[in-house]
Structures are given as C-alpha cells and as structure tokens.
Chain A
Amino acid sequence: MTLSFWLPLAILLSSLIPGVLIFLLAEERHRTRTALNLLGAVTKLILVGVLIWGVFHEQVFETRWALAPGLDFVLQADALSVLFVSLSTLLWLVTTVYAIGYLENSPHRSRFFGFFSLCVTATVGLALAGNLFTFVLFYELLTLATYPLIAHKGSAEALRGARIYLGYTLVGGLLLMIGAVWLHSLIGPVDFVQGGMLAGHGQLDPGVLRWIFLLLILGLGVKAALVPLHGWLPQAMVAPAPVSALLHAVAVVKAGAFGIVRVVYDVYGVEFAAGLGVLDLLAAVAAATIVYGSFKALSQDHLKKRLAYSTVSQVSYIVLGTAILGPLATIGGLVHLVHQGVMKITLFFAAGNYAESLGIHRISEMDGVGRRMPRTTLAFTIGALGMIGIPPVAGFISKWYLGLGALQAGVGAWVVPVLVASSLLNAAYFLPILYRAWFKRPAGSWPAERPHAAGGELPGALLWPPLATAALSLLAGLFAASPFSPLEWAQLIAAREYRP
C-alpha cells in the first residue's frame, strides 16, 4: 500500500473522523470541538496540496476495493476532481471559521458540526469518485448529511424546507441510480475515463443511451437546480447562513453541476454525447434556467431568496459550458465551477452578517448599511460585481470564455444574447442593492441590532471569511493567467479531455 492508495482515502477521512468525534463530544466542549474542526480542515488542505502537486505531474492516485463482483469503491484524482476537491477544501476551511463564529452561543452545536463535517466528506467523496457507482453512493450520502443541516433550527419553516429538499433530492437520487444501474447492466462497471468511456462501446443502441442520459441528467439536475427541478433551492434558504453558503457554493448545487460535467465528459464523452444529440437539449435547458433564475431573482425582496435564485441562474453557466462542444466553452464552464463558488459564498457570508448583526433579512431594509458595516459591504460588493461579470473580478473570466466558446462552436447567435441578457439582469438585481447599501441614508433604526464590542463591526470570525473569499474572487480574476489559477487548471483539464 502506497501513498497513491492512501492519499484519496486520507483526504476523505480528514473530515470524516473529526465529524464522528464531534458527534460523540459533549455539547459543552466548545474548545475541543473548534480545535477538531480546524485541525480537520487544515489537514485536508495540506493533503489536497500534496494531491494537486502530484496530479499536476501526472501522478496517479487511486483507492480501490471491491464491494461485490463488478462493483468497486473507487476514489481517484484526475485534474477535474482536483479542481472540485480543492475548491471544496478551501471553502470548507473558510466556512468552518465562519460557522464557529456564527453559531457562538447557539444550541446543538455538536450535531451541527458533526453533520457539517459529514457533508464535506460526502462532497469530497463526490469529487474523488472514480466511477459512477461511487458517485451515486456519495450523492445519496450528501442528501442524508445536508437534511439535518437544513432542518437544524427545528422550526416549522425549517422542517418544511428540509422536507421539500428531501423530497426533491431523494427522487433525483433514485432517477440517477436507475440511470446508473441501467448503464451498468449494459456495459459493466462505469469508470470515469477522460474522453468518455462509451466511445469504445460503439454497438450500443443510441435510443437507449439517450434515455439513460435523460435519467442521469434528471437525477443530477435536481441538485444542480435546473429549471424545472429547482423548486427546493429557494425553500432551503431557511438553513443557517453557513449552511446556505456551503450549499450554494460547494456542496449540493455544485455536486449536481459537477455530476453533469462528469457524465458528459467522462462517461459519455463530449463528442459522443454531441453525436447523440443530447447536448443541444441540455444547452437549451441551461439557457432557460439562466434567464429564468435571473428573472425570478429580480422580484425577490428577501435577500437570501434573491441570492438563491441567482444561484439557480449562475450554476447553469457551468452546465451551459459543458453542453457546448469545444475546449473554450469547457474552460468557461469549469472555471465557473470555482468562480461561482468563491463569489457566491462571499455573498452568503455577507447576507449572514447583515442578519446576524443588524437583523436585516430584506433588501428594503438595507439602506445605508454600507456605512454601518463597510467591510462586510465591501466584500458583498466585490461578489456582486463578479456575478454581473465586471472585470477584473473572476466572474468576467467565466463569461468571456463561455462567449468565446459559443462563437467557436457556432452557436454564438443564441448563446451570446443569453449571456448578455443574463448579465443585464444580474446588474438589474445586484446594482440596486449596492446603491441602497452605499448611497441611501439609513432609515433610522435597524430591524434587530445586536450589541457588539466597541470598535469592530463584527467578531473577526464573521468578518474575515467574506473578506478572504472576496479577495480570492479578485485574485482569481487578476491573476487568471498565472500557474495553478482556476483558469490555468481548467485549461489543463480541457486540454486533457480533448486530447486526441
């Protein structure tokens, strides 16, 4: 047994073991819990660093053991999994810090952080899954681990949101499983292979393959919040802010989007899928979702709901990039996987801070908040500008490559207008918030102001995470061309996927 066997497993265990220990920990042992949380997050980050280095040098990492004949549990690291795994590891660390600050003095923290760690374990498992079976396994685990987080507050509203979430995702999981089993019964174990593994099985009935594709995408589309499967996402925003942040940026919606990327590139193979004609439909759904989500966001006064619909729209950029044939679109979609995560988590952190310190939940209550909470609002501003796609924030890079990719593939005629329309809509629902926050006068008193220590606007654990992620979204844009940037990494993946 070597490093190449143990490393993926160790990355998984670095959050699983702290999670289990936290469950067993007495509620009052706050220090130990915090230490365990941070230790796990930092360990994972270091291990992922080793992994990145190895994968960059084309080293192979694989944890594999047989569960049954033809059913292997496989963890492996290719360039794509590294992209997702490093995003989730980095953001997990930041979110952990934020959650520790956010949940100070609230009950049931052992339960919360236990499931929080399980949720990250499942996400990392998804990222590292080396075949469709392992992917399905972690996909369902993710559902199970997030349900208690959404229900965490225990209020009727929280339980309702969690129940809706569960209904959607369990049906989705079932469809995904049926699709996966069907494929498995046709060709045996479905490993993720760069360039797709179906290309080698030329004699299969294309009609059947289209049905399977539909099942897989339906199952994954639930978590990726593709219209009309997105209904759970706005309801799930009742969760505590750190959970929303994680849900929208890394864990759930990303799991769906990442799954779609995997299915298109590494199961079907993007050229094979294009040959089947299934990508056009996917692109159309993604485009519809982009526009629909933006329109819905426009009319929400509730801040977290507006952000939720914005997620519906933004995640479909990834799907759109995946569904357009050609390396440039691929790069645009993949890089957005990271960029959207960093930017959206900033926005949710900021929203959590507004709610936490001033009791602000609605956009109409945000007048003048910029002067009261300048640093949080600065972070929010950077995230929002990135979402609109204003350079040099990272979101611009994604949209630029998506547009170029569409032109390259010859579908620019309808994709570019979608991108432009969506960006205008983004501006229409984000700029008024910024205007209110910075330029309007405060209404007098805030909805529910919380007394703080004099000086700072919030404790550091709540303030630094949004600033850090805002800085990251700026850096990812400014230094997009430097080695190990998300863009460079996406180019590496695209080069490998389209390698002849």
Chain B
Amino acid sequence: MSDLLIWPIVTPLAAALLALVWPSRATSIGIVAAGLTLLSTLRVAWQVSRDGVLELALGGWSPGLGIALRADGLSAILLAMSGLVSMAVAVYASVYFAGSAQRAGFWTLWLLLLTALHALFLSGDLFNVYVTLELMGLAAVGLAALGGGREALQAALRYLILGLLGSLAFLAGVAVVYAGFGSLDMATLAGVAAPVPAAWVALTLMTGGLIIKAALFPLHIWLPAAHANAPAPVSAMLSALVVKAALYLVVRLWLEIFDGVVTSAAAWVIGVPGGIAVVWGSWAALRAARLKLLAAFSTVAQLGYLFLFIALAAGLPAGEPRAAVMTALVLMAISHGFAKSAFFLGAGIVMQRAGHDRIAELGGTARALPLTTFTLALAGVALVGLPPSGGFLAKWQLLTTAIASGQWIWLPVVGLGTLLAAAYLFRLLGHAFAPGEGVGPRLAVGREEIPALALALTATLLLGLGAAGLWELIPVSAYAGRGL
C-alpha cells in the first residue's frame, strides 16, 4: 500500500482543472504543477529503489474488481524521466507561449497529457491502460493541433484517426484477454498467461494497435508531420514521452506479461521492421530540409532501435543477459527521451530567432546562439550513440547481445544507422557553423536555453557515466511472470 502513487497523477489533473477555470494564471499553475509532479515522481522512484514494487488499490477495492496502481523499476524510471523532461519543457514553454493566444489552452492540455502519461505508467490493469492511452491520445492531438495552420491541423487529424484505430485494436485485444483469461489485472495475467490461441490473438491485436502509436515502420507515416508541425514544447513532449508510452506497453506485454507466449520467431516480426526503421528513418532525417522534420525522422529511427532491443530480448531465455538487454533498452529509451526533448527545444529556439527552420539557411546560428548550438550538438551525440552518452552504452549492449546470440544481421543495420545519424548531425552542424546572418539577435542565457542544455547534459554525461543504478532497478518488476 502506498499513497505516494496517486500524486504523480492527481497533481497535474488538479492543476489542469485549475488552469481551465483560471486561464489568466495558467502559466504559473503549470510551472508549479510541473515542479510538484516532478517531486512526486522522484519520490516514487526513490521509494521503489529502496523498497521494491509499490502497489495501491484505489478505494480499497482489491485488484480484479477495483483498480490497482503499481510502480516497479520500469515504471518508476519512465515516471522520473517524464517528471524531469516535463519540468524542463514547462520552463521553456513559459517563455514560448508568453503572450500567445494559445497559452491557456496549452497548459490545460499539457497537464492533462501529463496526467494520462503518469496514469498509464502506473496502471496495473489493462482496461485502465486503454483509458489512459485514449486520454493521452486525445490530449496529444489537441496539443499537436495547437499551432493551427493547415499543415498542423491535417497532421493532427491523421494522428487522431490512426491513433483511434490503434486504440480500438488495443481494446479488441483487451476484450480477447478477458474472454480468454477472465482477468484484466496485469499481475494476475502474468501468472496465468499461457501460449493458447486467445493469447496469440490478444497479443497480436494489442501489439498491432500499439505499434501504430509507437510509430514502428511502416506505421510511422503519421509521426513526422505531426511532430514537426506542432509547437516546439509540444514536439518535445510527443517525441520524448508520448511514443514511449506505447513502447512501454509493448515491453510490458512482450517481455513480461506474455513472456511465455512470445516465441523467438515472433520476435522477428517486430525486429525486422525495427531494423528497417533504423536505416530508413536515419536516411530520411539526412534528407530532411527542415530541422524539426529531421528531429522527427530521427525519432522514427530511434524507435526502430528500441524495437530491435525488444526483439533481441524476446529471443533470449529469462536470466541475466536478458535483464541486461532490457536495461539497455530502457537506457536507450530515456537517453532518447532527454536528448530528443533537448533537440526539439533547441530547434524551437532557433526557429523563433530565425523565423524558419530550413537547415540550409541556418548559417550563423553557431555565432548567434552558441549555447543552443552546443545543446543541439550534445543532444545529437546522444542520438547518434557516440560516447559518453547513454545511447553509446545501450548500443554497446545491443551489439554484444546481437553477436553473442549469433544475430549478425543487426551489425550492419546498427552500423549503417549510426553512420547515417552521424551524417545528419554533422550536416546540421556544418550549416550552423557556416557564416551567415540568418539567425536574429543574440539571446541572453536564461529560461529558454538552460532547460534544453540541462536535458542534453542528462542524456550525454549523466546517463553515459552514471547510470549503473538502472541495472539494479529494472529487474525489480511487478509483472515478470517467470522472472526476468
């Protein structure tokens, strides 16, 4: 029993309502709520690292009938990442939306998004997962459409339709789970799930729905437009956190709850599209004409890596190597979360100064915005997976596992993906360092530049050199039926 678990959900929810009724104070409400939410997420993470799995049966109803909230290593880490990223985004957004007509709308939707995300990470029950998934999707679509404009609206609509389709497939899967196993409580399911047709059908449906939301190739088509046309703070949230929520569920389903159902042949079904996504996404990012589009395609590639990790882990028997791969997967996911949000915030700063984000016309950026250029470079290092970033460590683990399990095919994939990623990063930096006058007046270091820099530093230095604790935290699982 732990009441700690409701705070990461209730705080942003209450703030969202407050911001709705008191729009003139929306910014302050948002910042304070982000701070309190951050504290509550860190509290949860700290408690989990000390005591292990936390559980809370809401209203005193036992799981099965009532709704259970649970926090284990995986959810605690994602929760903490969400708290940190959203704090930085909030600080930046307070400047970005200052004096904008969309200010109140942004904060309400943004706080709702945070509520849904945290509820999703903490849900111990598949139906709640469905509800939070929908809530998250609706809030995300509202945010993506915030900028107005034809392109943003079209992208948001496409995002909504495909997202709904994904949720429906997920819900159908949930129905099959209930029909087959008589329970929706994830911990119970982890104990009873067996390789029977109902499990296969359910897993197929749910995974099908989730990979739309997690933008796995070739179902990523909605992502680049939606992420690139949203306002920068929103893009940061969408790329860093929202796609991760769907990915988180795939990890839960494939590696924990339905662990005994997933065969190593099935792993190829998500591994191969993952591999293609790595190469294709990086290639598209290299060809992208706009900075935010580059970042969005890079997200497609990074998600490809994450699915590769899942496929590799699913092919391993339970045990230490598998826990190591899973931890590397989480490390990769949170590195990307921090780095990509830093990247989008940096892109937002550049875009507001230059009035556009066409890469070829960004000459002079390095001179006008040295700190932001540095942030973009640092975030880029983590995205490429160069040392000393978390991405480098994760990639090392990925390659080790691929070689040790004889799956040589992933070597050229990772190699090519890395080189293409380096190419798109240095192409950007080449333009940024070139002489030019495109970027407007020099900026005082402050609420705009510091949050992005802090995120980028977290992705590179902190996760690259000080993430050893993850390897102890991830094996603390509430759902591992057969043990990790």
A residues adjacent to B (C-beta < 8 A)? 23, 65-69, 71, 73, 111, 133, 136-138, 140-141, 144, 147-148, 151, 154, 159, 163, 166, 170-171, 174, 177-178, 181-182, 184-185
Known contacts: A136-B387, A170-B419, A185-B403. The answer to whether A68 contacts B393 by CB under 8 A is yes
B419-456 Cβ-contact flags toward A at 8 Å (1 or 0): 10010001000100111000000000000000000000
Determine the distance from Cα of A269 to Cα of B430 in the docked complex, in whole angstroms. Answer: 42
27 interchain pairs, CB-CB under 8 A: A67-B393, A67-B467, A67-B468, A68-B327, A68-B328, A68-B393, A68-B397, A68-B470, A68-B471, A69-B324, A71-B396, A111-B370, A137-B387, A137-B388, A140-B386, A140-B387, A148-B433, A151-B430, A166-B422, A166-B426, A170-B419, A174-B419, A178-B411, A181-B400, A184-B400, A185-B401, A185-B404
User: Complex Cα distance A305/B73, Å?
Assistant: 57
B-chain residues with CB within 8 Å of residue A170 when the two chains form the complex: 418-419, 422
| CB–CB A66/B426 < 8 A | no
B360 in the interface, Cβ–Cβ < 8 Å?
Answer: no
Shortest distance from the beta carbon of A497 to any chain B beta carbon, whole Å: 28
Closest to A139 in B: B387
| Inter-chain contacts of B467 with A (CB < 8 A) | 67-68
A111 to B386, CA, bound (A): 21
Residues of A within 8 A of B470 (CB): 68
B320, B403, B468: which contacts A66 (Cβ < 8 A)?
B468
Q: What is the CB-to-nearest-CB distance from B409 to chain A, in angstroms, rounded to a whole number?
A: 14
Closest to A152 in B: B433
Are B418 and A174 in contact, with the CB atoms below 8 A?
yes
**When A and B form their complex, what is the total count of cross-chain residue pairs whose Cβ atoms lie within 8 Å?**
75
Residues in chain B within 8 A of chain A (CB atoms)? 320, 324, 327-328, 370, 374, 381, 386-388, 392-393, 396-397, 399-401, 403-404, 411, 415, 418-419, 422, 426, 430, 433-435, 464-465, 467-468, 470-471
Kindly list 4 other residue pairs between chains A and B, CB separation below 8 angstroms, not including A133-B396, A151-B430: A68-B393, A140-B387, A140-B392, A185-B404
The complex places the Cα of A151 from the Cα of B399 at a distance, in Å, of 32
State in angstroms the CA–CA spacing of A138 and B392 once bound together: 12
A113 to chain B, nearest CB (A): 14
Residues of A within 8 A of B426 (CB): 147, 163, 166
CA distance A411 to B418 in the complex (A): 42
CB neighbours of B471 from chain A (8 A) = 68-69
CB of B171 to closest CB in A, whole Å:
38
Instruction: Determine if B393 and A178 form an interchain contact, defined as CB atoms under 8 angstroms apart.
Output: no
B327, B388, B396, B467: most-surrounded residue (chain A CB, <10 A)? B396
Residue of A nearest to B363 (CB): A154
Q: Contact: B433 with A154, CB < 8 Å? A: yes
Please state if A154 and B386 are interface contacts (CB–CB under 8 Å): no
A140 contacts across to B, CB distance below 8 A: 386-387, 392
CA distance A151 to B411 in the complex (A): 31
- Contact call A171/B419, Cβ cutoff below 8 A: yes
| B381-A144 in contact (CB<8A) | yes
Whether the Cβ atoms of A68 and B468 lie closer than 8 Å is yes
Contact A163-B430, Cβ < 8 Å, known A71-B396, A181-B396, A181-B400 = yes
Please, how many angstroms separate the alpha-carbon atoms of A166 and B324 in the complex? 32
Q: Which residues of B contact A111 (CB under 8 A)?
A: 370
Given known A141-B387, A163-B426, contact A67–B465 (CB-CB < 8 A): yes
Which A residue's beta carbon lies closest to that of B401? A185
Measured CB to CB, the nearest residue on chain A to B445 is A24
Max chain B CB contacts within 10 Å: which of A73, A159, A185? A185
Contacts of B415 in A (CB 8 A): 174, 178
Residues of A within 8 A of B419 (CB): 170-171, 174
Q: How far is the CB of B136 from chain A (nearest CB, A)?
A: 31
A459 to chain B, nearest CB (A): 28
Partner pick for A182 among B386, B392, B403, B422, CB 8 A cutoff: B403
How long is the Cα–Cα vector from A495 to B449 in the complex, in angstroms? 54
* Listed residue (B392, B401, B415, B426) with the most chain A CB atoms within 10 angstroms of its CB: B426
Interchain nearest-CB distance for A119 vs B (Å): 15
Q: List B contacts of A144 (CB < 8 A).
A: 381, 386
Which residues of chain B are within 8 angstroms of A147 by Cβ–Cβ distance?
426
- Shortest CB distance B367–A (Å): 8
